[in-house]
Amino acid sequence: MRSPRPATGSVPGSTGARTEPPAGIPARAISPAPLPVTDLALAVDIGGTKMAAGLVDRSGSLQERAQVPTHGDADARTDGRTDGRGPEVLWRRLADLVHEVQLRVAPGDRVVVCGVGCGGPMSPDGETVSPLNIVEWRAFPLRARLHELTGVPTHVDNDAKALALGEGWVGAAAGRRDYIGIVVSTGVGGGIVLDGRLLGGRLGNAGHIGHVVVVPEGRRCPCGGRGCLEAEASGTAIAALTGHPADVAPPSIVERTGTLVGRAVASVVNLLDLPLAVASGSVALGFGPPFFEAAQREVDLRCGLDYARGARIIAGGLGDRGPLIGAGCVGWRAVEALV
Ligand SMILES: [Zn+2]
């Protein structure tokens, strides 16, 4: 990540002394040229644990970032007071975060678009959002509010779809026209790029691999079903199964989780003729190689048709920058043809 630009006229390591122009060259000939204008996307990622904002340039580089807990200290009070919650309290926290990042735009640079990744469900085009894990926002008009706040065109999409876009833009799926991006974290989500285009679906929810069934008659899922990938392999499910957070899960759980993710991926590979799955999120990336090896074994086992054989499941390449780069991509792709 780039550190904030030094103020005009200050150069790291400089003593501040002015350098005289060489003999014969008028002083104005070496006066600083105007800095090139960099167009930026204001990227916003909204999750149940934290909200983040950053600046992403046209080449996919995340230049600035800041984050706040989605719910502040006041929200955690257990004395029955509720003044720390509510849709407008949360909105004010997000608006302050956006403002903080806007202040970091270097002189001469400009924000031309705002891209947002947010937990679902949401109405088409993210006009209103009702994230499952943000109870304050139900049909919250996020796109219009951010548009009003920033004054630039604003585009909202599902956070897992945004991350899939980011991986295809400058991450582990760069240059690929057919892949699924999966997030295995507190929940499980995904986004599918097919024939070079992000799948939307009737209401914008295409790619939601979290509710592909991997254990018939398995654990109850919040969706009303049983044995969905999210109900078996999410951080929430792992904590319920083991009694401990996913980051201390034993090897048997790491392997089981990888196997189940691989099982869901295999079904998608077979269904859509996809050669690649890119998995991110704290559970997948935290578990690391043993998780991916188990997932790949399952994919190999279940993808036997000619077109599906050899499909790969690999780790996302953007690490913790992925959600903001993906959100930036949601904005940029509306400005120019990206994915
Ligand atoms: Zn489900």
339 residues of the chain, pLDDT tens digit each: 343 333 333 333 333 333 344 444 444 555 566 667 899 999 999 998 899 999 999 999 999 999 999 987 554 444 444 455 799 999 999 999 999 999 999 998 999 999 999 998 899 889 999 998 899 999 999 999 999 999 999 999 999 999 999 999 999 999 999 999 999 999 999 999 999 999 999 989 999 999 999 999 999 998 899 999 999 999 999 999 999 999 999 999 999 999 999 999 999 999 999 999 999 999 999 999 999 999 999 999 999 999 999 999 999 999 999 999 999 999 999 998 665
State both tokens at 47: 């999750």
In degrees and rounded to multiples of 5, residue 39 shows phi and psi of -80, 140
Q: Separation of 226 CA from ligand 1 center, angstroms?
A: 7
Q: DSSP assignment, residue 161?
A: H
Helix (H, G, I), strand (E, B) or coil at 291: helix
pLDDT of res. 163: 97
Q: Separation of 221 CA from ligand 1 center, angstroms?
A: 5
pTM of the predicted protein model = 0.85
Q: Separation of 1 CA from ligand 1 center, angstroms?
A: 37
Handedness of CA 218, 219, 222, 228 (dihedral sign): negative
Q: Separation of 212 CA from ligand 1 center, angstroms?
A: 7
Q: Separation of 188 CA from ligand 1 center, angstroms?
A: 10
pLDDT of res. 339: 54
Residues 250 and 242 sit within 8 Å (Cβ to Cβ): yes
Q: Separation of 108 CA from ligand 1 center, angstroms?
A: 48
Q: Separation of 318 CA from ligand 1 center, angstroms?
A: 27
β-pairing verdict for 50-57 and 39-46 = antiparallel
DSSP letter for each residue of 93-126: HHHHHHHHHHTTSPTT-EEEEEEEEE-S-B-GGG
pLDDT of res. 9: 34
State both tokens at 262: 């691989």
Q: Separation of 231 CA from ligand 1 center, angstroms?
A: 6
Give the end-to-end CA distance of the chain in Å, rounded to a whole number: 24
pLDDT of res. 249: 97
